[in-house]
Structures are given as structure tokens and as C-alpha cells.
Structure 1
Amino acid sequence: MGEGVVEELSLPRAPVRFRILGALEAHTGTHPLHLGPLKQRVVLGLLLCRANRIVSVDAFCEALWSGAPPRTAHKNLQVYVSALRKALRGDEERGCPGDGHQQVLVRRPPGYVIHVQAEQLDLLRFEELARGGRLAMRSGDSTQAAHLLGTAVGMWRGPALSDLASVPALASEAEQLEDRYLTVYEDWCQAELALGHHAQHVDDIDELARRHPYRERLRHAQMLALYQSGRQAEALAQFDAMRQGLVRNLGMQPSPVLGRLYEAMLRGDPSLEPSPAERPKPVVIRTDRTQLPQDLADFTGRDIHVRELTAAVDASAPHRATVVTGLAGVGKTALAVHCAHQWGRRFPDGRVLVRLRNGQNRPRPAVDVLAELLRGVGASGPLPRALDERAALYRTLLADRRMLVVLDGALDEAQVRPMLPGAGESRVVVTSRRRLVGLEAVEHVDLQPMDETEGLALLGRLIGQRRVAEEPVTARDLVAVCGLLPLPIRIVGANLAALRHLTLARYARRLADERQLLDELVAGDLRVRPRLDSAYQDLPAADRATLRRVALLTDAEFGLHEAAAALGCGLPQAEKAVERLIASHLVVFHAWGSDEGDACYRLPFPVRVYARERAREEGEWEREREPSGELTPARARTATR
């Protein structure tokens, strides 16, 4: 990259929205973006902290390598920037020329700059609201000031850049942002107290004052809120505690402003009495909120599961939560979204979907998810900061309405529990690769791969029924290679729809080598491998080893004795090991074997291919087990029988 060259990147029409007031996140619409490894996210985090300003190469080197950059530092930085551009751009086929409203990552000597609008970055929106609130205060409009400043405070999901706190340079940026937050919070308290809203803020102010004992404006607000709530002794005690701390630790006295407040409280100055409360509540509820991804226009089959899920969320159903489980790529989210779009009359107060994993496919902190959920169910203004308080407010709001909440991509029971409803007619649908058997009082819907008829129907909707009818045997082979899973079938269909000159048989030859299969199952940003990567990484190390070893068996179907031999253990241990994979939907119970008590299991075909690939990487591959990587129709059909 030449020093005088300006490189610009046009991004998709759906603008990328960034969030740094909490963990670093980026989204297009409702879809989180994968932002890559730590150093790549450090680059983006630093750019966003200084949005619309040039960040020098030296500043990046300090942040990335703490003042000791390698010789290849500049080249490495270029690699990180290039990868970020690719991540933010997404599928090039969806891109479009920049129109002045798209964020642009630009090379500007002596560094880089990212251009974003206020609506695209929560930090800029926070500052915009804060400026408006302060202007309203100067104009004497405490009501408008409280609204704007409270909205700004409520945008914070937790400590800024909390997932990058281990990086000293970004920890320093986060400290500066925290200071700006506290200043706005103090402004908001001033506006709220001017309106007579003292009682509802005492606890929140107490918590912040404990964390920042020497912020005098915060202590001033705390004392005034306590005094106006009829807790004069506690208000005076707070001043004494602060004075003692200042003298002991800093050798100084409180400011004259705080001293005058203390003296006014001692003499019961009438000017400290609260103003008549105008009673606007800190949480304002809006109803009829629908925040769902678009339904699939070609959603196919699943009639039994649609009926099952619909019955589970009925008002007469005994449970208020339903868990939809299944293998990666089986269509859990698609089913939940499809049903949610049909349930508008059942849930007139809104239908909301939130994703429980971030762009790196890691579980999001429950406190962050609850902040998004509270906004989704209609809460505005400042939110409680503690997890249990947010969960309590969330349940209270759900109890009074008829809403549907879809929690997409749960890792385990602990992540979900704070988000389950307590009472009322609202319902929650959870999607997960695991059955989450530890959750109490929930329904379960197990989503299995499609049957062959459904798989062929989906392929026909994607490429045209005529092409399926012209090559019926090859069409059956293709859906078998896909493991009868909707995601890979959609990928195959998308590719064939774009390559209309290819026969199905010619395209099928591209999928004939299992060593290349997962690389071929790509269409734009639809990919099978990342889903399987995620499912594999969710497993404990012992279960990963089990999966690799049973994948090396000669057939996709195997019995308990074969599993025990592959694992080198007894039958009881092998049975438990396989059952753990069944719980994660990576192995399917197929039938009881001919020998009494011997079960027959099956590996879904894409899972088997992936696990064998990982076995090769781990050096566990034995060539005599499988002399050829050739994928025959018979082998694929065996794996989907």
C-alpha cells in the first residue's frame, strides 16, 4: 500500500452497525459478523474508539504489540485490515457502489480511518444524545434533558470493549469511555432530580458511587437523592464517609460545593425539598414490536414440526418455553422464524429474535442479551446494570403482555435460564444443538434431517422441478450427499440455480471426493464448514475424540461393539460416550441391532466427512480403513437411510 494511495471499500446496502459500549459487535440487519481473531478485533476496536479520525500505524503497533512490534508489523497490520475489509464487506455479490452513507475503511497516511454515521456506531449515537440532553438542560427543559440523557445512558450494555479488556491500549480507551459515561450519568441524575424523580434512582446511584468513591458530582446526586427520599441520616453519612476517605487517602477535603450541600442538609434548608414529580417513568413501554428476520419464501416441508411447535406455544400449553434442538444446518432457526411469522395474532404485543452468540460464535454474556431483550420487548431509558435486576424487569414486562421471544443458538442451560418467562401468556422458543435437559418445565421439539421426499421438494423449489424430474437418480444422490440437511441442500440449489448450463450429474462429480466436499458446499456467505466447526468446538475434548474415532469406522452406521473397539473401551463406557454425541445431535440412534441389547447408530454424512477431516489433521487417519476418498452414491445413501 503506497503512502499516498487512498483505498476505499464500499460495503453492502444494509449498513454495518457497530457496538462498542459493551463487547465489540458488528451486525448487518440481524446477522452478527465474524470479526476474526483477537488482533484483528483490536484493530477494529481502536478504529471505532476513534471513529472518523486517523489512527496512526504507530498507535496500532502499540496496541497490538505493546511497544515491541515484530519486523513484519506493518505487513501484519495490512493483513488484519484486509481481513476486516473482507469481513465487513461480506459476500461481494451483495455489494454495491458506495453512496456516501456506507462506512468506509480508508488508508490515510500515517494510518487508517473508519468513516461511520452516528446511527451506525453506538458510541457516536451516545455522544449525540448526550449533546442534545445538555443543550436541553441549558435551555431549562429538564423533561427533554432527562429523556435524552437517559436514552444515552441506557445504550450501555456493560463496560466498553469488555471482550478486549486484556489489551492495555484498549483498556485505556475503555477507561476514557467509562469517564464519559459517568459524566453523562451525572448530568442525567441532575435532570431527574430536578423533576423530583429521586426515589427510583437511589439504588443505581449507590452502586456507582461505591465503584467511584471520589466523583463529587456522583456523590452530590447520591446525597440529594437520599435526602429527598426521606433518608437524611444516610445522606449525611455518605458525606462523612467521603470526607474521611479523601483525608486518609489523598490528604484533601471535599469541594466547597459538596460542603455547602452538607451544611444545607444539617439545617434542613427548604430549597432541598424535592420538586413535585412529573412522574415520567424510567422505563417506557411500547407494544406491537416485531423484530424478526425475513421468513424463507421457499420454506419447505416440516409440517409435523410446525404443528408440534405451534401446539407447544399455545396459550393452553402447560409450559411457557420450548427448546428446538437439532444438528447444525438442520434448520432450527428457519423453523422458529417461519412459525413466528405465522403467529402474529397469537402474540399481538410483538415477536422478537435475539442471537445468543456473537460474531465469533462465542456465547454472549447474559447481561448483554438481556439489555437487547429489554429493548426488544419495549423498554426504553436507563436499564438496571445487574444481571438479576435485568432478568426481573424482563420477566415483569413479559408477564403483562403476549409476546414471543426467540432465543437463537443457546450453548447451555445456564445461558438461557435468566431469559425464561415466569408468568403470563408470553412464550419463549429456544434453538440449540443440545437438548438442554437441565431446564425445568420446558417442551422439547427435536428436529431431524428431512426425509428424501422433503429434500427433493426443497431442491426442486430452488432449481426447478423439471431439472429434478429429468435426473431423478442424481437428484437423490445430491440430497443424500447433503445428509438431507436443509442448509447444504440450499447451497447445492443456489449453485445449480446460478449454473443452469450444468447437468445435475456434472455438478455431482464436483462433490464426489469427500476430501473436497465441504469446500464445495459454499454459496456466497452460506457455508457448511463454519457450522460444523462451531458444533465441534462446543464439544469437550473427550467427545471430539469419540466423534473422530467413530467417523473412521468403515460405515456411517455402526453398532455398540464397533464403537467400543474404535474407542478401546468397554461397552458401558462406549454407550455413554456415544450418547453424549447423540445429545449434541452429532450421532443419530438408528435402530436396535440383531444382537440383543446392541444399538445401531448413524453419523449424518456431512458430520462424518467433517470428523474424518479432523482425524486426518490430528494424525489419526489410517489409510487401510478407507483406501479412497471417492464418494459413491451408495455410501451417501447409507449415511442418510
Structure 2
Amino acid sequence: MWFRVLGPLGVSVDWEPVSLGRNRQLTVLAVLLLEVNKTVSVGRLIEAVWSGCAPKTASEQIQTCVWRLRRAFVAAGAGSGLIETTASGYSLRLAADKIDTGVFETWVREARAIADAGDHREAIAVYRKALRLFRGPVLAEVDSPVVRAVAAKWDERMLSVLEDCVELELASGMDAHLVDELTALVEQHPLRERLRWQLMLALHRDDRRADALAVYRAGRAVMVDELGVEPGRKLQELHDRILNGEPPQRAVVATAAVRVPAQLLADAPDFVERPEHTDEIRRVLTADDTAGVRIVALLGRCGAGKSTLATHVAHQLRDRFPDGQLYAELGEAGIGDIACGFLRALGVSDARIPADPDERTAMYRSLLATRRVLVVLDDVVDAHQVRPLLPGGPGSAVLMTSRTTVTELAGVYPVEVGALTESEAVEMFTGIVGAHRALVEPEAMREILRLAGHLPLPVRAAAARLVARPHLSLRHLASRLRDPRRRLDEFSHGTLDIRASLKSATTGMPDAAKHMWYSLSTLPREGFDVYEASAGSARTVHESERLLDLLVDRRVVDIAGVDERGNVRYRLHELIALYAAELSRTQLSQPVRERRAA
């Protein structure tokens, strides 16, 4: 529902006007709209309708007017709660974007913030957009003195904002363009000295000195005749400068500096190249952009090094995206907050950032529509979360990481990131621990890497633990890791926490899927089929198959292949199975654990 006050009174739904009844109801509605979201007393409404000549039944008639307005709103599909009854009167409750006065003030604040940031051109555009909301004298058809007094304040408000806009336009060199508009405004408002000063300046800059002096003389005559005063000091000073032949100061166009964000995390100095992935990612992200935004999704289980890989490739491609690089870790973060951070990085002041999350993402996409920006989105939960953050133009590209399938996104190119090869794992481990330690105990090193599943996170954690403990031999660490009860502890060091990584993989997962996952940790490590999973979890085969699909999508269960009977075989990675079994001891009740153990 849309309410219009800045001109003839109007209410519409989907551009269809709403019938509002007779003059008395229009007056009541006009007062409520002019005092929107404030309580208007019954006495003030009576005064607005009858101007001191109210009948004895005035209160009842006001009540009837409000009832009819509510009925009209309900008939238009807006509900009956717009007009609230308060202890002393009535209040019309509207969001700022549902009434033209609210939108006007929002845009004026935005224009001022943009001007303060130095971008006069954009501020002028927003000012002019706000001023176009005025469609004529405010509520001219409502002749109530109460309404007319408030409407006059809005007419004054419009002129004040218009003068602010003209001030910026003069500062931006739009002098000749303004002369006709200012001439008409000065004729309509001969006593507004600021408008007259602006017209004189525009004429002077347009080399129309005589006309500028004539405008001053006409203004002085009006002020002396009607007010008995001379023009103000500012007007007199401009008159004297023009009279003395001083050349006009030409405007200097002000535009805001374009901010180029560089938000990428630092690249890992000991990164182990994975050419089977990096070459493919670079090829897709730098392809011809005529088909639209290029999107690459790095998919894989926890600890596979997706984030490090994404950061490394993003740094390699910085020159291909000269308008900047944006980075955000999504996880459970709100999309509105992410968009807010992106807008700030792109140079949008806090005053200009919309409060509504959808408006924020829309502004963000608009800003990227004509730019070449690389957007890196880490730890994406699902496609719904990332869709509003896709750029609005084909020049940009998106590189995201996710533990779940996001292939339903149109145009996404999936890259499955698995474990390191043995040689890559050795290179990473040796680069951190040092060849002088790693190569002395090669068998122990290979055992550590095997127990880590060649996954970058546990490999790095084990190496970092050894660096922190120079006295600890690789053989001793390998011995610790052989104990399944200690393995997760040994593969965690400081922020390199394998448990924290695994925990995030199950965030938001339905309880039924979690319970299924716990039960799978008791099945043979070499693999199982849906029938074994069903028996172990006490669920139907159909339900077990559905839950297994979800767990595979979350990368906490792997598909091992198909057996001779055509059944899909599943398995859990060793570390994932250990974590699931650990959780089952605290998350499942004793009877359930005993039943599954049997």
C-alpha cells in the first residue's frame, strides 16, 4: 500500500487507487498522514474537521470516519491494523517506504551523506529524485486550517531541500542549466533571498551581468516595499562583486574517489601447488565474460584446504580484477551484515547503507554491475545463502568454498578438492618441520601423513605441533597417533583444530541425519551399503537412503563405489569416523548406544 501526501492526497495498492470516501474522511486521513506514526488526539481531529464549530456528536463522527477508513484499507487488502486506537486518539502506523514523506526524508539523508563524502554528482541525482516526489502543492484539496498549516511546512521543506540541491549544482558547474528554473522559482517566491542569490550567481557565471544586477534591484524593491528592510548581507556582497566587475569563481566539480577494495586474506607462504586444481580454477575465472558472471565452487570435506587454495588462486588473479577483491566468511553470518561490509569496502558511507538486508544486497549488486571485481566467499552453507551476493554484472567473478553441494546455482563450475597426493603431503610437512627432521625419520613421517589421511589441516597441525616441540621425535608422535582415542587431540594445535572444522560441517544438519551419522561410525571402515546403514540406525531403507544422500552432500560420508549386486557402497574417512563415534557417546542415550553396540 502506498500513501501520497506531497501533492493531492492519494492511496493506492499495486498502482490501483483506493476509494477514500468524502471530505471529512479525507481530512481525518490527511491529519493522520501528516503526523504518521504519532498519536493524534481526537480533539485535534475535531478541530481539523470543524475548525471550532464542532457538533455535539463530533467524537462519534470522528470514530465513524476512522471506521470507514479502516474498512477501505481492508477492502484494498491492507488489513485493519494500520490505524491504531490509543489512549487519547489514533495513530496511523506506516513504514517509511510506504509513504512519500518517509521516502523523501530517506533520500534527502542519503543525498546529504553522499555530498559529505564528496560525490556531488551522485548527491544531486538523489536530491532530484527526492524532489520529484512533490507533485504539486501539498494536500491543496483539503481546506482545513490545521492541514494547511502542516502542509505549508512541507512546502517550505521542499524549497529548503531544493536550495541545497541547487547549491551543489552550482558547485558542479551547472549554472546555465539552472537559470530558467531559478527564474521561475524567484518569481514564485520573491522574498527567498537564497534563491535570488543563486539566480544572480548563475547569471553572473553565464556572463549575464546586467541580468544578475536586475534580479538584485527587483528583489530589493520587493523587500523594501513589503518588509521595509534592505537585502541581506550575502545578497549585497554578491551584488557588489558583480557591480565592481569581479570575475565569477568557476565551479570545481567534486566527485568521490573510487575505492578499490583489497580484502583477501594473506596467501600462505608455504603453499603447496596443486596444479590439477589451480589451473582449472584460473581457466574458468578468466574466461570470456560475455556469458555472464563466472562462478567456481571449491567443494570438499573438512580439512581439505579449500580456503587456502581459494586464497592462493585469488592472489594470482588480482591483476585480472582491477576494481578490487572482496572477501567474506559466510558460515552462520547474516547476508545483510555481509552486504553491509562489502558496501563499506566499496566506499559507501554508513549513512547511505540501507537498513533492509534486501536493499543492501540490491545496492551491492548495482555497484558491481559495471565493475571487474573478484568476490571470494568462504564456507558457504548453501546456494540460497550465496545467491543474493552474486555480482550484478558480467565483468566480475565469484570463487566460493563449501562443504556441501551448491551445484543448483545457475552457471556454477564445481571443483572437487580432495586430499593431497603423497608427494604434496610430504612437501607440505617437510616445508614446515624442516628437512633436517623429516628426512631423518622417513617411515615415521609417512605414517603420520597416512593417519592424517593426507588432508592439509591435520598434516599442518601435526607439523606445527612438532615445530613447537623440538624435542619430540616423529616416531614418538606417530606412536601417539596410533591410539584412536588420542588421534583427534594430536591432530589439533592452537587454531588448527580438527574438531572445530568437523563440528562446522554438521552445523544446521537435521537431528535425524546427525543420529544416522553417529550410528555409521560403528560400521566397518572398509564400507557398508544402505541395508547395513538401515539396520544400524533402526530406520527404513528409504529413509536411510535419503539421509545418506544428505550426509554425502555434506562431505561427512563418502561413496566408495558399487558392489557386484549393484548396491552403492559408503564409508567414513578415518578422522570423521573417530569424531562421529566421539559425539555418539555424549549425544545418544545409553539404551540407544547399547542397542547399536549389540
Q: TM-score range by the shorter chain?
A: 0.5 to 0.7
Is 1:431 equivalent to 2:401 in the alignment? yes
Hey, what's the Cα distance between the residues in 2 that align with 1:561 and 1:294? 47
Task: Check 1:257–1:534 CA distance in 2 against 1; reply closer, same or farther (3 A cut).
Answer: same
- Matches of 2:533 and 2:380 in 1, distance apart? 29
Structure 1 residues 243, 559: CA separation in 2 closer, same or farther (over 3 Å shift)? farther
1:62-96 deviation line (CA, Å, top 9, x unaligned): xxxxxxxxxxxxxxxxxxxxxxxxxxxxxxxxxxx
Residues 1:311 and 2:283 are matched in the alignment = yes
Aligned partners of 1:241, 1:473: CA distance in 2, in Å?
96
Given residue 599 of structure 1, which amino acid in structure 2 is its aligned partner? V
Runs of 5+ unmatched residues, structure 2: 1-104, 163-184, 203-250
**Given the alignment of the two structures, is residue 200 of structure 1 paired with residue 126 of structure 2, yes or no?**
yes
- In structure 1, the residue matched to 2:343 is 374
Alignment partners' CA distance in 2, 1:286 and 1:424 = 20
* Separation of aligned partners in 2, 1:459 and 1:238: 80
CA distance in 1, matches of 2:570, 2:144: 68
Secondary structure, counterpart of 1:561 in structure 2: helix
SS in 2 for 1:328: coil
Q: Does 1:489 align with 2:424?
A: no
Distance 1:624 1:373 in 2: 51
Deviations 1:270-300 (CA, angstroms, capped at 9, x unpaired) = 638696898756x75334x422111111111
Determine whether 1:597 maps to 2:597: no
Q: CA deviation at 1:412?
A: 1.4
* Secondary structure of the corresponding residue to residue 523 of structure 1: coil
Q: Deviations over 1:527-546 (max 9, x none)?
A: 11112122122311111111
Structure 1 residue 494 displacement after superposition: 0.4
The question of whether the paired residues in 1 share the 8 Å contact of 2:138 and 2:155 is answered with no
2: CA distance between counterparts of 1:326 and 1:306?
A: 15
Identify which of 480, 487, 499 aligns with 1:529. 499
The equivalent residue for 2:519 is 549
Deviation at 1:582? Answer: 1.0
Match of 1:442 in 2: 412
Which of residues 134, 150, 171 in structure 2 aligns to 1:231?
A: 134
Shift of 1:256: 9.7
**CA distance in structure 1 between the partners assigned to 2:595 and 2:441 by the alignment:** 34
Secondary structure class of the residue paired with 2:528: strand
Identity level (%): 30
Q: Would the aligned equivalents of 1:561 and 1:598 in 2 still touch at CA under 8 Å?
A: no
* Match in the other structure for 1:299: 271
> RMSD across aligned C-alpha pairs, in angstroms?
4.0
* 2:480 maps to amino acid: R
CA change 1:241–1:459 in 2 (3 A) is farther
1:418–1:386: structure 2 CA closer, same or farther, 3 Å change rule? same
Structure 1 residues 244 and 323, CA, compared in 2 at 3 Å: closer, same or farther? farther
**1:244/1:280 CA distance change after superposition, 3 Å:** farther
* Conserved 8 A contact 1:284-1:380: no
Deviation for aligned residue 1:262: 8.2
Distance 2:575 2:276 in 1: 24
TM-score, with length taken from structure 2:
0.60
Shift of 1:198: 5.5
Q: Does the 8 A contact of 1:398 with 1:424 survive in 2?
A: no
Q: 1:241/1:256 Cα in 2 relative to 1: closer, same or farther (>3 Å)?
A: closer
The residue aligned with 1:117 is none
* Mapping for residues 61-140 of structure 1, pairs under 5 Å: none
Contact 2:404/2:555, CA 8 A, preserved across alignment: yes
Cα deviation code 1:201-227 (max 9, x no counterpart):
577xxxxxxxxxxxxxxxxxxxxx53x
Cα deviation for residue 586 of structure 1 reads: 0.8
Q: Which amino acid aligns with 2:330?
A: L
| Preserved CA contact (<8 Å) 1:286 1:379 | no
Q: Give deviations 1:311-341, integer Å, cap 9, x for gaps.
A: 2202327551111111122111101000011
**1:285: which partner in 2?**
258
Higher RCO (CA 8 Å, separation ≥ 6 residues): 1
Aligned: 1:349 with 2:349: no
**In the alignment, is the contact (CA less than 8 A) between 1:582 and 1:588 conserved in 2?**
yes
Q: Which amino acid in the other structure matches residue 345 of structure 2?
A: G
The count of residues paired between Structure 1 and Structure 2 equals 408
| Higher Rg | 2
Do 1:411 and 1:434's aligned partners in 2 also have CA atoms closer than 8 Å? yes
Is contact 1:324–1:431 with CA below 8 Å preserved after alignment? yes
Once the two structures are TM-superposed, the CA of residue 242 in structure 1 deviates from its matched residue by 14
**Paired residues for 1:30-49 under 5 Å:** none
CA deviation after TM superposition for structure 1 residue 431, in Å? 1.2
> Match of 1:605, as an amino acid?
E
Residue equivalent to 1:561 = 531
Which residue is 2:166 aligned to? none
Instruction: Give 1:449's aligned amino acid.
Output: A
State whether residues 323 and 444 of structure 1, in contact with CA within 8 Å, keep that contact through their aligned partners in structure 2. Answer: yes
Q: Could you tell me how far apart the structure 1 residues matched to 2:481 and 2:135 are? A: 77
Do the aligned partners of 2:107 and 2:126 also contact (CA within 8 Å) in 1? no
Q: Name the counterpart of 1:221.
A: none
Identify unmatched segments of 5+ residues in structure 1: 1-181, 204-224, 248-252, 628-641
AA partner of residue 454 (structure 2): L
Q: Do 1:377 and 1:398's aligned partners in 2 also have CA atoms closer than 8 Å? A: no
Question: C-alpha offsets along residues 20-46 of structure 1, whole Å, 9 cap, x if unaligned?
Answer: xxxxxxxxxxxxxxxxxxxxxxxxxxx
Match for residue 269 of structure 1 among 169, 172, 189: 189
Q: Say if 1:508 and 1:422 are closer, same or farther in 2 by CA, change over 3 A.
A: same
* 1:323 and 2:323 correspond: no
Q: Contact conserved, 2:108 with 2:126, CA < 8 A, in 1?
A: no
CA gap of 1:259–1:557, structure 2 versus 1, over 3 A, is: same
